[in-house]
Structure 1
Amino acid sequence: MNSSHLDQAFRRYVWCGAIGAALFLLLQVIPSAAGVGAESEPVHPVSRGQAMAAAADFAQKQLRALPQNAHAVHQADRLMAGYVAKEKLGKTLDSSAGLKVPVDVWQVTQNFDDGRRLLVEIGMTSGKLVGWKQVLGPTGGDGGSSALEGEALDRTVQRQADELGLGQLRRSGPAKEGSVRYEAAAITVGEAGLIVLAAGERLEGEIRLTRFQPVYEVPASYAAYTMEQDRLGEQLSLLGNLLPSGIMTLLAIVYAIVMRRFTSFRRGWALALVFLAFYTINNFNLLDGLRAIYGGEVNAELAAMAQLVFMTALTFVMAVGAYFSLVAGDGLWRAQGRPLWTAGSEPGFGAEAWSAMKLSYAFAFLLLGLQTLILGGLSAATGAWATTDVTQSPYNMAALWLMPLLAWCAAIQEEAVYRLFGIGLLMKWIKNPFLASLIPTVIWALGHVTYPIYPSTTRLIELTILGLLFSYLFLKFGFFTAVFTHAVMNSVLMSMSLFMTGRPAETVAGVIYIVAPIAVAWLMRRYGLQRRAAAYPPPA
């Protein structure tokens, strides 16, 4: 791709980028900063350390012992958060029931010397006790304890409810896990009610609650709808993305061999390693999010570690797929007489990378503005809404500033698999640019339908539109432009989470991520100049 062609395009599209940036700023950034639309997300949470200290105080009162070790994760009521967002009840919740039973809590897991394990829930904004559950009893059995039942349990539960300001409770039947279900008639949010799951024990004449967990109960119709949508999203992801992507990986291996005379197996290994390294870092960074998925399960830590191992193995498979897609995609396009990915050894490599980077900023902000309009239109047309995903929560990341590394992971892997190779393969088969772009774009979009947005097809529609635009950029301006545009766009979106913390370190990190493509392109340009100087030394 000629760098002068890219520079001309930059001058032509820079104003479009400015308009897109203005739309993104006015319709997304400023409302988010003002708290509009963040219906259930804690704005100023207490720290993890404060939550663990509050939980330790409760343990001292409850068990007359301090935990041997403890760990806190962000836990959220996904169903209630989604219901509140859908019905726009955020202000109602935050000003009433949410003060006593918030949707977002710090879930503190405490392990004691005698073998007990206690889960204590602390409000993320209040720092106050919300509820608790004893997951494991003392080692060696109950130690003479007996289950608390009947009126004795009712009285004990009511005293605790009064202490937490939940009002009068009414027993409404047994619940799972040996707990009793109570209704808090005075607390409702829209059509959602509040129930309390409780259990207790008598131990050497002392009465103690082993479980007291207030839980919102959303309308049955909403719960059934989200369950159906989750099932639909999983099916679409499996059949529409995972299976076709696996087939594409196999085809990439085949075509990398078939097209080897047009390309080289040295191509793409560095990009694949960058993807593998960054994505592996991300997997470990999200370990607390995995712990939150399994919540109060007895083997939660083991399940989280097993999930981490599986994700790491899958990441390796994806890196292999990206590598062979880069090799095969390059070969396919060169065989068709359209080398859309310039090699470092080819003339113009550095200049093209630098020009593509400049153009990518204009396109990235243009696409951010368009994405904001698309999501706004879909929200108005379908009533689309989002809920909480604790696996992606900023509070469940070991180092929040590492999160934007994912921007480069998506840019490298997705542009390699679905644009460079996907479109290249279909252009060889069907010779129709639109269909060759549409099919891999839909496969790519279906990989995002399990995100916590309802209806599940919302992201399919949004990303099909954006994917076709990425395909146009790739076909018109080459692989560098597509990758840089994808990286800049995602870096801006992910850096918003860093900026929202208000902490200087994260703010600086966000700025660095947004300008990082400039540094990358500068290094590529310098490398290109050095190669050119080595190939054409000045006369003696």
Structure 2
Amino acid sequence: MNSSRLDQAFRRYVWYGAIGAALFLLLQVIPSAAGLGEEMEPAHPVSREQALAAAADFAQMQLGSLPQNAHAVHQADRLMAGYVAKEKLGKTMDSSAGLKVPVDLWQVTQNFEDGRRLLVEIGMTSGKLVGWKQLLEPSGGDSSGSPLEGGALDRTVQRQADELGIGQLRRAFAGEGDSVRYEADGITVGEARLTVLAEGERLEGEGRLTRFQPVYEVPASYAAYTEEQDRLGERLSLLGNLLPSGVMTLLAIVYAIVMRRFTSFRRGWALALIFLVFYTINNFNLLDGLRAIYGGEVNAELAAMAQLVFMSVLTFAMAVGAYFSLVAGDGLWRAQGRPLWTAGREPGFGAQAWSAMKLAYVLAFVLLGLQTLILGGLSAATGAWATTDVTQSPYNMSALWLMPLLAWCAAIQEEAVYRLFGIGLLMKWIKNPFIASLIPTVIWALGHVTYPIYPSTTRLIELTILGLLFSYLFLKFGFFTAVFTHAIMNSVLMSLSLFMTGRPVETVAGAIYIAAPIAVAWLMRRYGMQRSAAAYPPPA
């Protein structure tokens, strides 16, 4: 792609970029910053250290000892958070029930010297005790007490409910395992009711609760709908994305070999390595999110580590797929007489990278504006809503400022697999640019349907539209422009989370991530100039 053509496009689209930036700012950034984008007010959570201290105080009071070690993660009631968002009950929740039993919690896992393990729930914004559950009994399960049952359990549970301000409870017929379920008469949010799961033991004639966990019970119709949508999303992701993407990886390996005379196996290894390193960092950064998934289980740590291993293996497979897609995609386009990815050894590499970066900033804000309109239209048409995903929670990241590295992972892997290779392969087979763009775009979009947005098809529609636009940009302006546009767009969106913290480290990091494509393009231009100078030295 000629750099002068990219510069002309930059001048032509710059005003569209300004309009897109204005739409994005006015309809998404400002409402989010003001807490107007959703009905719930922005949270100001207590620190992890404060939650650990509050849980330690409870352990001292409950067991008469402090834990040997403790770890806190952000936990959330996914069903209730979604119900509140769908029914626009955020302000009602925050001003009433949420003050006593919030949706978002610090979940503290405490391990004691006698083998006991306690799960303590601390309100995320209040810093107060919400509930607890004993996961392991002393000495790995040897309890010296007898179960607390009947009226004795009822009275002990009610005393605890009074202390926490939950009010009058009445025993229900169903529980969870050995737990007894109670219903809070005076606490409802819409049609959702507050329930309490409780267990206890009798020691030396005194009753003590080993479990007291308030849990919201959403309407059965809402729970059934979200369960059905989750199953639909999983099926669409498996059959529409994971399996086709696996087939595409195998085809990429085949075509990398078949097209080797048009390309080189040295192409793409650096980009694939960047993807592998950045995504691996992201996996470890999300470890607390994995712990939160299994937080209420005895073997939570083992399950989280097993999940991390699986994600690492999958990441390696994705990196391999990206590498062969880069090699095969480059070969396919060069075989068709249309190289869309300029190599570092080719003339114009540096100038093209620099011009692609400038154009990409404009195009990224065009797409951000369009995405804002698309999501607004879908929300109005379908009533789409989102819920909490603790695996992606900023509070469950070891270093929040590392999160936008994922922007480059998506830009490299997705543009390589679904645009450079996917479109290139189908153009060889069917010669129709629209169909060649549509099929890999739908496969790509189906990889995002398991996000916590309902209906599950919301992101499918949104990303099919955006994916076709990315395909158009790729075909018109080349691979560099597509990758830079994708990276800039994602970096802006992810950096917003850093800015919202108000902390200097994250704020500076967010600004650096948004400006990083300039530095990358500058290095590419400098490299291109050095290669050009070496190839064409000045006359003596």
The normalised TM-score by structure 2 is: 0.99
Aligned to 1:138: 138
Q: Secondary structure at the match of 1:119?
A: strand
| 2:119 aligned partner | 119
Q: Does structure 1 residue 448 correspond to structure 2 residue 442?
A: no
AA partner of residue 498 (structure 1):
L
Distance 1:147 1:481, change over 3 A: same
What is residue 81 of structure 2 aligned with on the other side? 81
Per the alignment, residue 271 of structure 1 pairs with 271
Match of 1:61 in 2: 61
Residue type of the alignment partner of 2:374:
I
Cross-structure match for 1:305: 305
Sequence identity of aligned pairs in percent?
89
- Structure 1 residue runs of 5 or longer lacking an equivalent are none
Partner of 1:8: 8
Is the 2:73–2:292 contact (alpha carbons within 8 Å) kept by the matching residues of 1?
A: yes
Q: Which amino acid aligns with 2:188?
A: T
Q: Hey, what does 2:45 align to over in structure 1?
A: 45
**Quick one: distance in 1 between partners of 2:294 and 2:31?**
33
- Is residue 500 from structure 1 mapped to residue 527 from structure 2 by the alignment? no
CA–CA separation in structure 2 for the residues paired with 1:70 and 1:40? 30
Paired residue secondary structure (2:172): strand
Tell me which stretches of 4 or more aligned residues in structure 1 moved more than 6 Å.
Answer: none
* Structure 1 stretch displaced more, 168-177 or 407-416: 168-177
Deviation at 1:173, TM superposition (A): 1.7
**Per-residue Cα deviation, 1:387-437 (whole angstroms, up to 9, x for no partner):** 000000000000000000000000000000000000000000000000000
1:203 CA displacement:
1.4
CA distance in 2, matches of 1:442, 1:328: 21
- Aligned equivalent of 1:128: 128
**Residue equivalent to 2:103:** 103
Aligned partners of 1:463, 1:186: CA distance in 2, in Å? 43
Q: Give matches, 1:383-394, under 5 Å.
A: 383-394=383-394
Structure 1, residues 479-518: CA drift from partner, whole Å, max 9, x if none?
A: 0000000000000000000000000110000000000000
1:382/1:343 Cα in 2 relative to 1: closer, same or farther (>3 Å)? Answer: same
- In structure 2, the partner of 1:538 is 538
Contact preservation (8 Å) 1:40, 1:81: no
Q: What is the letter of the counterpart of residue 500 of structure 2?
A: M
8 Å CA contact 1:40, 1:104 repeated in 2:
no
RMSD: 0.8
Partner of 1:344: 344
Q: 2:198 is matched with which residue?
A: 198
Deviation at 1:39, TM superposition (A): 4.3
Task: Name the counterpart of 2:325.
Answer: 325
Shift of 1:40: 5.1
* Contact 1:42–1:124 under 8 Å retained in 2: no
Would the aligned equivalents of 1:115 and 1:137 in 2 still touch at CA under 8 Å?
A: yes
1:72 aligns with 2:79: no
**Contact between 1:42 and 1:125, CA under 8 Å: does it hold in 2?**
no
Q: Residue 468 of structure 2: SS of its match in structure 1?
A: helix
User: In 1, are the aligned partners of 2:137 and 2:143 still within 8 Å (CA)?
Assistant: no
Look up the SS of the partner of 1:474 in the other structure.
helix
AA matched with 2:169: L
Tell me how far apart the structure 1 counterparts of residues 30 and 130 of structure 2 sit (CA, whole Å): 32
Shift of 1:38: 4.1
What letter matches 1:52 in structure 2? L
Report if aligned partners of 1:40, 1:90 keep a CA contact under 8 Å in 2.
yes
**CA contact 2:357–2:517 (8 Å) conserved in 1:** yes
Three-state SS of the structure 2 residue aligned to 1:264 is: coil
Q: d(CA) in 1 for partners of 2:395 and 2:247?
A: 36
| TM-score, length basis structure 1 | 0.99
Deviations 1:280-309 (A, max 9, x none): 000000000000001210100000000000
**Equivalent residue pairs, number:** 540
**What corresponds to 2:522 in structure 1?**
522
Residues in 1 aligned to 2:498 and 2:327: alpha-carbon distance in whole angstroms: 35
Contact 1:46 1:127 in 2 (8 A): yes
